[in-house]
Amino acid sequence: MSYLFTSESVSEGHPDKIADQISDALLDEFLRRDPEAKVACETLVTTGLVVLSGEVNTKDYVAVEKFVRETIGEIGYTNSDYQFEANSCAVISAIHPQSPDINRGVERQYPEEQGAGDQGMMFGYASKDTDDYLPLSLDLSHILLQELAKIRREGEVMTYLRPDAKAQVTIEYSDDNVPQRIDTIVVSTQHDEFDNDDERMLEKIREDVKKYLIRRAKKRLPERVQKLFKEDYKLFVNPTGKFVIGGPHGDTGLTGRKIIVDTYGGKGAHGGGAFSGKDASKVDRSAAYAARHIAKNMVAAGVAEEVLVQVAYAIGVAEPVGFYVNTYGKANVDLTDGEIAQKVQELFDMRPYSIIERFGLKYPIFKETAAYGHVGRKYRKDFVKLKYDGVDSEKEVEFFAWEKLDYVSKLKESFNL
Protein backbone atom coordinates (compact mmCIF):
# COMPACT_ATOMS: atom_id res chain seq x y z
CA MET A 1 0.00 0.00 0.00
CA SER A 2 1.52 3.34 -1.05
CA TYR A 3 1.51 6.34 1.27
CA LEU A 4 1.58 10.13 0.99
CA PHE A 5 4.10 12.50 2.59
CA THR A 6 3.87 16.30 2.56
CA SER A 7 6.24 19.19 3.23
CA GLU A 8 5.86 22.95 2.90
CA SER A 9 8.07 25.97 2.42
CA VAL A 10 7.52 29.72 2.67
CA SER A 11 9.00 32.58 0.66
CA GLU A 12 11.48 35.20 1.83
CA GLY A 13 8.53 37.61 1.97
CA HIS A 14 6.56 35.50 4.46
CA PRO A 15 6.29 37.40 7.78
CA ASP A 16 8.13 34.78 9.83
CA LYS A 17 10.91 34.64 7.24
CA ILE A 18 11.22 38.43 7.21
CA ALA A 19 11.82 38.18 10.95
CA ASP A 20 14.39 35.41 10.49
CA GLN A 21 16.26 37.38 7.83
CA ILE A 22 16.36 40.53 9.94
CA SER A 23 17.68 38.56 12.93
CA ASP A 24 20.41 36.95 10.82
CA ALA A 25 21.25 40.23 9.08
CA LEU A 26 21.91 41.76 12.50
CA LEU A 27 23.92 38.72 13.59
CA ASP A 28 26.09 39.11 10.48
CA GLU A 29 26.69 42.79 11.22
CA PHE A 30 27.79 42.06 14.79
CA LEU A 31 30.12 39.29 13.57
CA ARG A 32 31.46 41.54 10.80
CA ARG A 33 32.84 43.81 13.53
CA ASP A 34 33.51 41.32 16.31
CA PRO A 35 34.02 37.60 15.66
CA GLU A 36 33.58 36.90 19.37
CA ALA A 37 30.19 38.62 19.57
CA LYS A 38 27.52 36.69 21.47
CA VAL A 39 24.16 37.30 19.86
CA ALA A 40 20.59 36.12 20.40
CA CYS A 41 18.42 38.51 18.43
CA GLU A 42 14.63 38.10 18.10
CA THR A 43 12.44 40.05 15.68
CA LEU A 44 8.71 40.77 15.46
CA VAL A 45 7.16 42.30 12.35
CA THR A 46 3.61 43.55 11.95
CA THR A 47 1.78 46.36 10.16
CA GLY A 48 4.27 49.20 9.77
CA LEU A 49 6.42 48.02 12.67
CA VAL A 50 9.58 46.07 13.46
CA VAL A 51 10.47 45.24 17.08
CA LEU A 52 13.94 43.95 17.94
CA SER A 53 14.75 42.25 21.21
CA GLY A 54 17.34 39.87 22.58
CA GLU A 55 20.78 39.76 24.12
CA VAL A 56 24.09 40.87 22.63
CA ASN A 57 27.64 41.07 23.99
CA THR A 58 30.02 42.81 21.60
CA LYS A 59 32.87 45.29 21.61
CA ASP A 60 31.58 47.35 18.68
CA TYR A 61 28.45 49.28 17.74
CA VAL A 62 25.94 48.36 15.03
CA ALA A 63 23.34 50.82 13.73
CA VAL A 64 20.65 48.15 13.73
CA GLU A 65 17.92 50.28 12.09
CA LYS A 66 20.01 50.70 8.91
CA PHE A 67 20.37 46.96 8.39
CA VAL A 68 16.74 46.27 9.25
CA ARG A 69 15.60 48.62 6.50
CA GLU A 70 18.13 47.29 4.00
CA THR A 71 16.94 43.73 4.59
CA ILE A 72 13.27 44.62 4.20
CA GLY A 73 14.02 46.46 0.96
CA GLU A 74 16.04 43.56 -0.46
CA ILE A 75 13.13 41.20 0.20
CA GLY A 76 10.83 43.44 -1.84
CA TYR A 77 8.74 45.45 0.62
CA THR A 78 9.23 48.79 -1.13
CA ASN A 79 5.61 49.73 -1.81
CA SER A 80 3.51 51.60 0.75
CA ASP A 81 0.41 49.75 -0.52
CA TYR A 82 1.75 46.68 1.32
CA GLN A 83 1.29 48.50 4.68
CA PHE A 84 4.84 47.41 5.51
CA GLU A 85 7.58 49.26 3.68
CA ALA A 86 11.33 49.45 4.18
CA ASN A 87 11.76 53.20 4.50
CA SER A 88 8.61 54.09 6.41
CA CYS A 89 8.09 51.29 8.96
CA ALA A 90 8.91 52.05 12.60
CA VAL A 91 11.89 50.19 14.10
CA ILE A 92 12.03 49.72 17.86
CA SER A 93 15.08 48.12 19.50
CA ALA A 94 15.00 46.53 22.95
CA ILE A 95 18.32 44.67 22.61
CA HIS A 96 20.29 44.41 25.84
CA PRO A 97 23.51 42.67 27.08
CA GLN A 98 23.75 38.91 27.46
CA SER A 99 23.40 37.55 30.98
CA PRO A 100 26.81 37.04 32.64
CA ASP A 101 25.39 33.82 34.13
CA ILE A 102 25.19 32.37 30.61
CA ASN A 103 28.46 33.89 29.43
CA ARG A 104 30.47 32.32 32.23
CA GLY A 105 29.54 28.86 30.93
CA VAL A 106 30.68 29.70 27.42
CA GLU A 107 33.91 31.67 27.87
CA ARG A 108 36.79 29.55 29.17
CA GLN A 109 40.54 29.96 29.70
CA TYR A 110 41.25 27.51 26.87
CA PRO A 111 39.08 28.02 23.75
CA GLU A 112 38.64 24.30 23.08
CA GLU A 113 36.96 23.97 26.49
CA GLN A 114 34.17 26.36 25.48
CA GLY A 115 30.90 25.16 26.98
CA ALA A 116 27.60 24.80 25.19
CA GLY A 117 25.55 27.99 25.26
CA ASP A 118 22.44 26.10 26.31
CA GLN A 119 21.10 22.65 27.09
CA GLY A 120 18.98 20.75 24.61
CA MET A 121 19.00 18.21 21.82
CA MET A 122 19.64 18.83 18.13
CA PHE A 123 18.97 16.62 15.11
CA GLY A 124 20.45 16.10 11.68
CA TYR A 125 18.87 14.07 8.89
CA ALA A 126 19.73 12.87 5.39
CA SER A 127 18.31 10.41 2.89
CA LYS A 128 18.85 9.37 -0.71
CA ASP A 129 15.55 10.96 -1.77
CA THR A 130 17.31 13.73 -3.69
CA ASP A 131 20.78 14.67 -4.93
CA ASP A 132 21.16 17.07 -2.00
CA TYR A 133 20.04 14.41 0.51
CA LEU A 134 16.78 16.16 1.47
CA PRO A 135 13.20 14.87 1.46
CA LEU A 136 11.84 15.35 -2.07
CA SER A 137 8.66 17.08 -0.90
CA LEU A 138 10.67 19.77 0.90
CA ASP A 139 13.17 20.19 -1.93
CA LEU A 140 10.36 20.78 -4.44
CA SER A 141 8.61 23.23 -2.12
CA HIS A 142 11.82 25.27 -1.78
CA ILE A 143 12.44 25.23 -5.53
CA LEU A 144 8.92 26.42 -6.35
CA LEU A 145 9.30 29.44 -4.10
CA GLN A 146 12.84 30.22 -5.22
CA GLU A 147 11.63 30.31 -8.82
CA LEU A 148 8.56 32.36 -7.87
CA ALA A 149 10.83 34.96 -6.25
CA LYS A 150 13.03 35.05 -9.38
CA ILE A 151 9.96 35.60 -11.55
CA ARG A 152 8.83 38.45 -9.28
CA ARG A 153 12.23 40.14 -9.39
CA GLU A 154 12.61 39.74 -13.17
CA GLY A 155 9.29 41.55 -13.63
CA GLU A 156 8.65 40.17 -17.12
CA VAL A 157 5.70 37.86 -16.42
CA MET A 158 3.35 37.51 -13.44
CA THR A 159 3.96 41.22 -12.81
CA TYR A 160 1.19 41.24 -10.19
CA LEU A 161 3.24 39.20 -7.71
CA ARG A 162 3.89 40.49 -4.19
CA PRO A 163 6.58 39.08 -1.83
CA ASP A 164 4.54 36.80 0.47
CA ALA A 165 4.04 33.19 -0.67
CA LYS A 166 3.81 29.57 0.48
CA ALA A 167 4.15 26.23 -1.30
CA GLN A 168 3.33 22.68 -0.30
CA VAL A 169 4.08 19.41 -2.09
CA THR A 170 2.67 15.93 -1.43
CA ILE A 171 4.57 12.91 -2.77
CA GLU A 172 3.21 9.38 -3.20
CA TYR A 173 5.72 6.76 -2.02
CA SER A 174 5.76 3.01 -2.52
CA ASP A 175 5.95 0.62 0.42
CA ASP A 176 9.72 0.50 0.03
CA ASN A 177 9.89 4.33 0.34
CA VAL A 178 10.57 5.13 -3.32
CA PRO A 179 8.84 8.26 -4.74
CA GLN A 180 6.21 7.24 -7.30
CA ARG A 181 4.52 10.48 -8.34
CA ILE A 182 3.68 14.04 -7.38
CA ASP A 183 0.22 13.84 -5.86
CA THR A 184 -0.55 17.46 -4.92
CA ILE A 185 1.02 20.90 -5.26
CA VAL A 186 -0.31 23.91 -3.39
CA VAL A 187 0.88 27.44 -4.24
CA SER A 188 -0.44 30.48 -2.42
CA THR A 189 1.03 33.77 -3.58
CA GLN A 190 0.26 37.34 -2.62
CA HIS A 191 -0.77 39.51 -5.56
CA ASP A 192 -2.03 42.94 -6.62
CA GLU A 193 -5.73 43.73 -6.94
CA PHE A 194 -7.39 42.65 -10.23
CA ASP A 195 -10.10 45.32 -10.63
CA ASN A 196 -12.48 43.43 -8.34
CA ASP A 197 -12.79 40.55 -10.80
CA ASP A 198 -11.87 37.72 -8.43
CA GLU A 199 -12.73 34.86 -10.79
CA ARG A 200 -10.60 36.23 -13.64
CA MET A 201 -7.81 36.97 -11.19
CA LEU A 202 -7.76 33.45 -9.80
CA GLU A 203 -7.85 31.83 -13.24
CA LYS A 204 -5.03 34.09 -14.50
CA ILE A 205 -2.78 33.26 -11.53
CA ARG A 206 -3.51 29.54 -11.88
CA GLU A 207 -2.68 29.60 -15.60
CA ASP A 208 0.54 31.49 -14.95
CA VAL A 209 1.61 29.12 -12.18
CA LYS A 210 1.28 26.19 -14.59
CA LYS A 211 2.76 28.02 -17.59
CA TYR A 212 5.71 29.71 -15.91
CA LEU A 213 6.34 28.54 -12.36
CA ILE A 214 5.85 24.78 -12.70
CA ARG A 215 7.80 24.66 -15.97
CA ARG A 216 10.73 26.60 -14.53
CA ALA A 217 10.80 24.49 -11.39
CA LYS A 218 10.79 21.26 -13.41
CA LYS A 219 13.80 22.41 -15.45
CA ARG A 220 15.87 22.53 -12.25
CA LEU A 221 15.12 18.89 -11.48
CA PRO A 222 16.92 15.74 -12.62
CA GLU A 223 15.08 13.65 -15.22
CA ARG A 224 14.06 10.98 -12.70
CA VAL A 225 12.17 13.62 -10.67
CA GLN A 226 10.64 15.30 -13.72
CA LYS A 227 9.04 11.95 -14.55
CA LEU A 228 7.11 12.08 -11.27
CA PHE A 229 4.94 14.90 -12.68
CA LYS A 230 2.09 12.82 -14.07
CA GLU A 231 -0.91 14.37 -15.81
CA ASP A 232 -3.22 13.64 -12.89
CA TYR A 233 -1.43 15.60 -10.14
CA LYS A 234 -3.65 18.01 -8.20
CA LEU A 235 -2.81 21.73 -8.28
CA PHE A 236 -4.30 24.21 -5.83
CA VAL A 237 -3.50 27.88 -6.43
CA ASN A 238 -4.61 30.46 -3.87
CA PRO A 239 -7.33 28.12 -2.57
CA THR A 240 -9.08 30.88 -0.56
CA GLY A 241 -9.67 32.73 -3.85
CA LYS A 242 -7.75 35.92 -3.04
CA PHE A 243 -4.44 36.90 -1.44
CA VAL A 244 -3.94 40.66 -1.67
CA ILE A 245 -3.42 41.42 2.02
CA GLY A 246 -0.25 39.62 3.06
CA GLY A 247 3.17 40.05 4.57
CA PRO A 248 3.37 41.54 8.06
CA HIS A 249 0.12 43.46 7.43
CA GLY A 250 -1.75 40.18 7.00
CA ASP A 251 0.04 38.13 9.66
CA THR A 252 2.49 39.02 12.41
CA GLY A 253 5.91 37.45 11.89
CA LEU A 254 8.31 36.15 14.55
CA THR A 255 11.85 34.79 14.47
CA GLY A 256 12.02 31.01 14.77
CA ARG A 257 8.48 30.04 13.80
CA LYS A 258 9.47 28.11 10.65
CA ILE A 259 11.94 25.61 12.10
CA ILE A 260 10.52 22.68 10.10
CA VAL A 261 10.78 24.66 6.86
CA ASP A 262 14.36 25.48 7.93
CA THR A 263 15.29 21.81 8.32
CA TYR A 264 13.66 18.63 6.94
CA GLY A 265 10.03 19.36 6.20
CA GLY A 266 8.71 16.99 8.83
CA LYS A 267 11.05 14.08 8.11
CA GLY A 268 13.53 13.01 10.77
CA ALA A 269 13.08 15.07 13.93
CA HIS A 270 13.68 18.53 15.42
CA GLY A 271 14.89 19.46 18.89
CA GLY A 272 12.74 22.61 19.03
CA GLY A 273 15.47 25.26 19.00
CA ALA A 274 15.38 27.92 16.28
CA PHE A 275 18.48 29.00 14.34
CA SER A 276 18.21 32.56 13.11
CA GLY A 277 19.63 35.41 15.15
CA LYS A 278 21.88 33.11 17.21
CA ASP A 279 25.66 33.06 17.07
CA ALA A 280 27.37 29.69 16.90
CA SER A 281 28.01 29.41 20.64
CA LYS A 282 24.32 28.50 20.77
CA VAL A 283 24.33 24.79 20.01
CA ASP A 284 20.70 25.04 18.87
CA ARG A 285 22.26 26.26 15.66
CA SER A 286 25.85 25.03 15.43
CA ALA A 287 25.23 21.47 16.66
CA ALA A 288 22.20 21.10 14.38
CA TYR A 289 24.46 22.00 11.47
CA ALA A 290 27.06 19.50 12.70
CA ALA A 291 24.43 16.74 13.01
CA ARG A 292 23.29 17.40 9.44
CA HIS A 293 26.91 17.20 8.29
CA ILE A 294 27.30 13.80 9.93
CA ALA A 295 24.03 12.40 8.56
CA LYS A 296 24.73 13.63 5.02
CA ASN A 297 28.25 12.22 4.95
CA MET A 298 27.02 8.89 6.34
CA VAL A 299 24.43 8.49 3.58
CA ALA A 300 26.89 9.64 0.90
CA ALA A 301 29.45 7.13 2.19
CA GLY A 302 26.91 4.30 1.97
CA VAL A 303 26.71 3.57 5.69
CA ALA A 304 22.90 3.70 5.38
CA GLU A 305 20.19 4.83 2.96
CA GLU A 306 18.62 7.15 5.55
CA VAL A 307 20.09 8.52 8.77
CA LEU A 308 18.93 10.53 11.76
CA VAL A 309 21.54 11.89 14.19
CA GLN A 310 20.76 13.32 17.63
CA VAL A 311 23.25 15.16 19.83
CA ALA A 312 22.49 16.60 23.28
CA TYR A 313 24.28 19.11 25.54
CA ALA A 314 24.27 20.51 29.06
CA ILE A 315 24.75 24.28 29.33
CA GLY A 316 28.35 25.19 30.07
CA VAL A 317 29.67 21.69 29.27
CA ALA A 318 31.83 21.13 26.20
CA GLU A 319 31.36 17.41 25.53
CA PRO A 320 27.90 16.25 24.42
CA VAL A 321 25.91 14.35 27.03
CA GLY A 322 24.21 12.22 24.39
CA PHE A 323 24.79 10.95 20.85
CA TYR A 324 22.31 8.79 18.96
CA VAL A 325 22.04 7.39 15.43
CA ASN A 326 18.96 5.90 13.79
CA THR A 327 19.35 4.20 10.40
CA TYR A 328 15.67 3.19 10.18
CA GLY A 329 16.73 -0.41 9.52
CA LYS A 330 18.43 0.69 6.28
CA ALA A 331 22.06 0.29 7.31
CA ASN A 332 24.45 -1.24 4.80
CA VAL A 333 26.80 -2.49 7.50
CA ASP A 334 26.39 -5.43 9.88
CA LEU A 335 26.31 -3.31 13.03
CA THR A 336 23.62 -2.12 15.41
CA ASP A 337 22.75 1.57 15.44
CA GLY A 338 24.48 1.83 18.81
CA GLU A 339 27.67 0.36 17.37
CA ILE A 340 27.41 2.68 14.38
CA ALA A 341 27.00 5.68 16.69
CA GLN A 342 30.10 4.74 18.65
CA LYS A 343 32.25 4.55 15.52
CA VAL A 344 30.85 7.84 14.18
CA GLN A 345 31.56 9.62 17.46
CA GLU A 346 35.21 8.69 17.14
CA LEU A 347 35.42 10.57 13.82
CA PHE A 348 33.53 13.80 14.62
CA ASP A 349 34.56 16.18 17.42
CA MET A 350 31.24 17.61 18.63
CA ARG A 351 32.54 20.12 21.15
CA PRO A 352 31.17 23.61 20.35
CA TYR A 353 34.65 25.06 19.72
CA SER A 354 35.48 22.29 17.26
CA ILE A 355 32.18 22.68 15.40
CA ILE A 356 32.73 26.42 15.06
CA GLU A 357 36.26 25.92 13.77
CA ARG A 358 35.22 23.11 11.40
CA PHE A 359 32.59 25.22 9.64
CA GLY A 360 34.00 28.74 10.10
CA LEU A 361 31.01 29.98 12.07
CA LYS A 362 32.48 33.25 13.36
CA TYR A 363 32.08 35.06 10.04
CA PRO A 364 29.06 36.95 8.61
CA ILE A 365 27.60 34.05 6.61
CA PHE A 366 24.17 33.61 8.15
CA LYS A 367 21.73 35.96 6.43
CA GLU A 368 21.69 33.71 3.38
CA THR A 369 20.59 30.74 5.50
CA ALA A 370 17.43 32.47 6.71
CA ALA A 371 15.21 31.69 3.68
CA TYR A 372 14.70 28.46 1.71
CA GLY A 373 16.32 26.18 4.28
CA HIS A 374 19.49 26.02 6.35
CA VAL A 375 20.31 22.56 4.93
CA GLY A 376 20.47 21.11 1.45
CA ARG A 377 22.10 24.30 0.14
CA LYS A 378 25.13 24.53 -2.14
CA TYR A 379 28.51 24.78 -0.43
CA ARG A 380 30.73 27.53 -1.78
CA LYS A 381 33.56 29.88 -0.93
CA ASP A 382 33.15 33.62 -1.25
CA PHE A 383 34.57 36.87 0.08
CA VAL A 384 32.97 38.78 2.96
CA LYS A 385 33.72 42.28 4.21
CA LEU A 386 35.02 42.60 7.75
CA LYS A 387 35.53 45.62 9.99
CA TYR A 388 37.58 44.38 12.93
CA ASP A 389 38.66 47.23 15.24
CA GLY A 390 37.39 49.71 12.67
CA VAL A 391 39.69 48.44 9.91
CA ASP A 392 38.05 47.39 6.63
CA SER A 393 39.20 44.13 5.06
CA GLU A 394 38.00 41.18 2.99
CA LYS A 395 38.34 37.49 3.70
CA GLU A 396 37.43 34.37 1.76
CA VAL A 397 35.15 32.19 3.87
CA GLU A 398 32.96 29.12 3.47
CA PHE A 399 29.19 29.28 3.10
CA PHE A 400 27.10 26.21 4.07
CA ALA A 401 30.24 24.32 5.06
CA TRP A 402 28.09 21.76 6.90
CA GLU A 403 26.93 20.58 3.46
CA LYS A 404 30.44 19.47 2.43
CA LEU A 405 30.99 15.77 1.76
CA ASP A 406 34.49 15.91 3.24
CA TYR A 407 34.17 12.97 5.64
CA VAL A 408 32.98 10.37 3.12
CA SER A 409 36.40 8.73 2.72
CA LYS A 410 36.95 8.66 6.49
CA LEU A 411 33.59 6.99 7.02
CA LYS A 412 34.19 4.46 4.26
CA GLU A 413 37.53 3.55 5.81
CA SER A 414 36.06 3.29 9.30
CA PHE A 415 33.19 1.06 8.13
CA ASN A 416 35.20 -0.91 5.56
CA LEU A 417 33.00 0.23 2.69
- 25 and 17 in contact (C-beta within 8 Å)? no
Measured CA to CA, the distance from residue 417 to residue 415 in angstroms comes to 6
* Residue 115 DSSP symbol: P
Confirm whether residue 128 is marked as ligand binding. no
Confirm whether residue 164 is marked as ligand binding. yes
Confirm whether residue 243 is marked as ligand binding. yes
Confirm whether residue 166 is marked as ligand binding. yes
Among left, alpha and beta (phi > 0; psi -120 to 50; other), residue 173 is beta
Measured CA to CA, the distance from residue 178 to residue 171 in angstroms comes to 10
Confirm whether residue 14 is marked as ligand binding. yes
Confirm whether residue 374 is marked as ligand binding. no
Confirm whether residue 55 is marked as ligand binding. yes
Measured CA to CA, the distance from residue 182 to residue 188 in angstroms comes to 18
Burial class (CB in 10 A: 0-12, 13-18, 19+), 143: buried
Measured CA to CA, the distance from residue 229 to residue 232 in angstroms comes to 8
Confirm whether residue 242 is marked as ligand binding. yes
- Cα end-to-end distance, the chain, whole Å: 33
Q: What is the DSSP string of 332-345?
A: SSSS-HHHHHHHHH
CB atoms under 10 Å from CB of 201, counted, come to 21
Confirm whether residue 96 is marked as ligand binding. no
Confirm whether residue 12 is marked as ligand binding. no
Confirm whether residue 278 is marked as ligand binding. yes
Binding residues for K(+): 42
Binding residues for Mg(2+): 16
Binding residues for L-methionine: 55, 98, 251, 282
Binding residues: 14, 16, 42, 55, 98, 164-166, 242-243, 251, 257-258, 274, 278, 282
Binding residues for ATP: 14, 164-166, 242-243, 251, 257-258, 274, 278
